[in-house]
């Protein structure tokens, strides 16, 4: 899992944190990483099942 980055929003007494918007390439990296995990899981399941 990619770790979520947070940024502080606004000043004042309370610090508000919200998830930072991910850049396009971070998103692409996550999608590719997710696909690799899914493919690996399917390969393992296939190996066990066969």
Whether pTM > 0.75 for this model: the answer is: no
Predicted confidence at residue 50, as pLDDT, reads 83
Q: First-to-last CA distance in the chain?
A: 29
Cross-strand partners of 33: none
Residue predicted with more confidence, 1 or 41: 41
| pLDDT tens figures, 17-44 | 677 777 888 889 899 999 999 999 999 9
The C-alpha atoms of residue 18 and residue 48 are separated, in whole angstroms, by: 42
SS3 30: helix
């Amino acid at each position: 899992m990619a770790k979520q980055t947070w940024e502080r929003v606004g000043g004042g007494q309370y610090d508000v944190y919200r998830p930072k918007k991910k850049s396009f390439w971070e998103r692409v990296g996550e999608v590719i990483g997710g696909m690799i995990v899914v493919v690996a899981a399917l390969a393992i399941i296939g190996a066990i099942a066969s």
